[in-house]
């Protein structure tokens, strides 16, 4: 398994699509961070500081997850179409090991993408406004842990969908569609009229789904009224999603015909 992972990461570093995705992510992160610094503090609820930089990255997770879909589609479907996976099986590697090696590589790529984005925004916001009090160091680390859970779940779903297709375009389109569905679900609200005033109140179930799968859950960790039960719910849902998607993906991968 170690030799297989070493080979997979070697191919990852040489993948042109992955390199382009990371360059795009860095440029977008720089642009978004600088743009946020010019937004009036009263609109943001305070100065944008280093402790809030992970919130910027989390807010843009819709874009980062779409970029992750590009990475996964490039890694999995392209290699299938080129017959590389078939060659790996013929060389003695089991399909299950190949599948989980692909998942580990895809997950590391997704987390690395988010990490790079945070590391780009962190020095810019810290230099501009200091560390701030949006989150303590422990909360900052906790946010990162939640991001890891989110990306583990979403990457497993993206890999499952890519495993269903034999076309890079179809896999990419389906995965982008999945992310867009999560974005739409997370943005839905319930219209309530109180004393003649129409208020849009978020539906708790839809908000929960949006927080978990769109990528903005990281900011919830620093919320003072977030209960331990809610955190456990998020963690359990992410773990269950990851397990179901990986089991289903491994089953399909083991049974599919290889070129």
Instruction: Tell me what pLDDT residue 6 has.
Output: 79
Residue 134 has pLDDT above 70, yes or no: no
Task: Give the bridge partners for 200, in sequence order.
Answer: 191
Please tell me which residue, 169 or 27, carries the higher pLDDT value. Answer: 27
Answer for the pair 62, 215: CB distance below 8 angstroms, yes or no: yes
Instruction: Tell me what pLDDT residue 255 has.
Output: 76
pTM to 2 decimals? 0.78
Q: Which tokens sit at 248? A: 């289903």
Answer for the pair 56, 143: CB distance below 8 angstroms, yes or no: no
Task: Tell me 188's DSSP state.
Answer: -
How many angstroms separate the CA atoms of 40 and 29, rounded?
19
How many angstroms separate the CA atoms of 150 and 239, rounded?
9
For the chain, what is the domain count?
Answer: 1
pLDDT band, very low/low/confident/very high, at 212 (cuts 50, 70, 90): low
Q: Which domain holds residue 35?
A: 2-255
Residue 211 has pLDDT above 80, yes or no: no
Answer for the pair 35, 27: CB distance below 8 angstroms, yes or no: no
Q: Which residues of 21-36 are buried (b: 16+ CB within 10 A; e: fewer)?
A: bbeebeebbeebbeeb
Helices 16-37 and 95-129: crossing angle in degrees, nearest 10, is: 30
Residue 214 has pLDDT above 70, yes or no: no
Instruction: Tell me what pLDDT residue 85 has.
Output: 75
Answer for the pair 27, 116: CB distance below 8 angstroms, yes or no: no
237 three-class SS: helix
């Amino acid at each position: 398994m170690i030799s297989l992972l070493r080979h997979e990461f070697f191919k990852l570093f040489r993948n042109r699509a992955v390199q382009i995705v990371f360059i795009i992510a860095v440029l977008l992160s720089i642009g978004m961070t600088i743009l946020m610094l010019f937004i009036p503090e009263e609109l943001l609820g305070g100065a944008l500081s280093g402790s809030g930089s992970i919130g910027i990255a989390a807010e843009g997770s819709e874009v980062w997850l779409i970029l992750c879909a590009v990475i996964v589609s490039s890694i999995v479907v392209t290699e299938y179409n080129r017959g590389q996976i078939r060659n790996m099986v013929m060389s003695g590697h089991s399909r299950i090991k190949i599948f989980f090696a692909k998942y580990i590589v895809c997950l590391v790529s997704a987390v690395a993408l988010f990490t790079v984005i945070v590391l780009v925004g962190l020095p810019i916001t810290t230099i501009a406004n200091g560390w701030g009090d949006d989150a303590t160091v422990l909360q900052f680390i906790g946010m990162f842990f939640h991001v890891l859970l989110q990306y583990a779940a979403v990457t497993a779903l993206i890999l499952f969908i890519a495993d269903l297709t034999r076309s890079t375009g179809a896999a990419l389109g389906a995965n982008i569609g999945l992310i867009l569905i999560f974005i739409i679900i997370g943005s839905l609200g319930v219209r309530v009229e109180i004393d003649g005033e129409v208020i849009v109140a978020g539906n708790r179930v839809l908000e929960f789904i949006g927080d978990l799968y769109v990528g903005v859950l990281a900011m919830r960790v620093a919320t003072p009224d977030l209960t331990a039960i809610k955190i456990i719910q998020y963690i359990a849902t992410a773990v269950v999603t990851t397990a179901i998607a990986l089991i289903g993906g491994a089953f399909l991968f083991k049974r599919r015909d290889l070129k």
